[in-house]
Structures are given as C-alpha cells and as structure tokens.
C-alpha cells in the first residue's frame, strides 16, 4: 500500500504494490486484520492513539498515507478532520470509498505514492501512516515525504527490531529466497526511526509499544481478557518497554 508508482529503483512487481492490487485481498483485508475481539481491540487502540496525538480534530487537515480500506481516514473524518487518504491499490481505495459512504463521512481518496507525495510542502497539519513502512521498498524516503508535506505532527507504526516480530520477518525473508510467495516485511529499530525523523527536523514526542507476544498468538487464543492479563503481567516485568511491538511513534516539528 505504498502508492501509485514505484520509487526509483523499485519495481511494480514488489509485493507491496502487487499483493494489494487484488480485489479479493482488498475485500477480505478488514476481516483478516480486524475481525474478532483482538482485531477490534487493535482498531480501538489505533483510534485512541490518533485522538491523543492529533486531537481535537475539528478543522485539522490530515493526510492518511497507505490508507488501505480507509479505517484510520474514516475515523479521523468522523472526528471532524478534513482527510485525504492515498493508496497504491485502486481495489483498496474502492473498498475505502464504500466504507466511507456507509459511515456517512467525507474523505477524499486518491491514488498516490508514499515515496513521492504529490502535495506541496507543509500542506497538511498532520500525516498518519499505518502498516506501510514495514512494507515500503524505501521506508526512509516515505518518512522524508511524510515530514515534507506536514507542518505539525506525523504518526507512524512499525514492527520493532527488538521483538518477536523480528523472528517472523526473518523467516519470511528466508522463505522469499526459496521462491515462496510471502509478505517479507521488515522490522525497524526505534533508534533508526527517530534518526530518520530528526533528519527532517522532527523530534519524537510519544512512543507506544503494544504487545510482547505476537498479534497472531493473541488472535489464536481469541480471548481479549487473556490477552490483556498476559500483556499486563509482562509490562509489569518491563518486557513491553524492551520488546513491545508494533511501535506507534508520534513525531513533531
């Protein structure tokens, strides 16, 4: 979900473009990612983090990069923001437009490239980008573009290098070398992310780490109460601060 055209040196065959340019993937995305009690908890947590980072939303101009099915964009618009959502996949944008219409909110959904945003400098008060940097061919270029078009705050998330997700990422990259079709996503060190923002004049003002155990494990148990109890226990031991993932960062100019 990185944008409408591939950046220099990247191919449209990169899975971050090709995988989501599939109608079945687009229509099944929400059910796969956000179904069940754990999926709903992820949605509610994301909405809470965005409100804390960007609220009050009334009148704010916000860009959602890699909007996918529009979940974040629709939530922001429902809160009173003027929102533009961009994505590489016309199929994903089609689902997003349908969801926005069903909610009765106005969002401008456009095809676009996270590596080369077609907006002027400081066009938006804030920009958000979820589940994008882990897949984008050049995540540092995406961060640079997010900062360029934003005058105030940028919110991103990513799987941490210091987490169990690093093991899954490594396994997927190994599978890719064997010719398997897989989303070989990357994990990113928090320090490197902070450096990328600092290079564009932004400082990190908030860091939220969600789970110690993999999201897939929590979805497998299907019990939100069990998830919260286990994660609270590990947080009390200091494990979430060390190994929590995904990481949501808020950067401010």
What would the pLDDT profile of 214-237 be if each residue is shown by its tens digit? 888 999 999 999 999 999 999 999
Q: What are phi and psi of 111, to 5 degrees?
A: -70, 145
- Backbone phi, then psi, for 43, in 5-degree steps? -60, -50
Specify the pairing of strand 61-65 against strand 124-129: parallel
Question: Nearest to residue 197, comparing CAs of 240, 245, 249?
Answer: 249
Residue 11 pLDDT: 53
First and final C-alpha spacing in the chain: 25
Which element (helix H / strand E) includes 63?
strand 61-65
SS3 call for 207: strand
pLDDT at 205 over 80: yes
**Predicted local distance difference test score (pLDDT) of residue 167:** 81
Give the span between the Cα atoms of 201 and 116, in whole angstroms: 19
Q: 189-204 pLDDT, tens per residue? A: 999 999 999 999 999 9
Q: What percent of the chain has pLDDT over 70?
A: 94
> Given this model, what pLDDT does residue 155 score?
98
CB 34 within 8 A of CB 71: yes
Average pLDDT (165-181) is: 78
Cis? peptide before 246, omega within 30° of 0? yes
Contact (CB, 8 A) for 96 and 105: no
User: Which domains, ranges and CATH numbers included, belong to the chain?
Assistant: 15-252 (3.40.50.150)
Q: Are the C-beta atoms of residues 222 and 37 closer than 8 Å to each other? A: yes
Single out the residue of 244, 218, 180, 159 nearest to residue 171, CA to CA: 180
Q: Over the stretch 133-164, which tens digit does the pLDDT of each residue have? A: 999 999 999 999 999 999 999 999 999 999 98
């Amino acid at each position: 979900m990185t944008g409408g055209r591939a950046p220099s040196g990247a191919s449209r065959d990169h899975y971050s473009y090709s995988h989501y340019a599939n109608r079945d993937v687009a229509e099944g995305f929400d059910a796969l990612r956000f179904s069940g009690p754990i999926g709903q908890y992820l949605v509610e947590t994301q909405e809470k983090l965005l409100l804390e980072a960007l609220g009050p939303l009334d009148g704010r101009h916000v860009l959602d990069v890699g909007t996918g099915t529009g979940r974040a964009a629709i939530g922001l618009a429902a809160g009173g923001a003027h929102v533009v959502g961009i994505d590489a996949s016309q199929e994903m944008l089609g689902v997003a437009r349908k969801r926005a219409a069903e909610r009765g909110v106005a969002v401008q959904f456009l095809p676009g490239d996270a590596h080369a945003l077609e907006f002027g400098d400081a066009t938006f008060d804030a920009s958000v980008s979820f589940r994008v940097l882990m897949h984008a061919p050049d995540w540092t270029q995406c961060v640079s573009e997010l900062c360029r078009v934003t005058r105030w705050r940028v919110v991103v998330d990513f799987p941490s290098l210091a987490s169990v997700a690093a093991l899954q990422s490594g396994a997927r990259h190994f599978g890719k070398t064997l010719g398997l079709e897989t989303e070989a996503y990357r994990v990113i060190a928090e320090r490197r992310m902070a450096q990328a923002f600092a290079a564009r004049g932004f400082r990190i003002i908030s860091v939220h780490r969600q789970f110690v155990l993999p999201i897939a494990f929590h979805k497998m148990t299907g019990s939100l109460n069990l998830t919260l109890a286990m994660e609270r226990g590990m947080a009390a031991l200091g494990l979430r601060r060390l190994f929590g993932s995904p990481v949501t960062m808020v950067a401010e100019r």
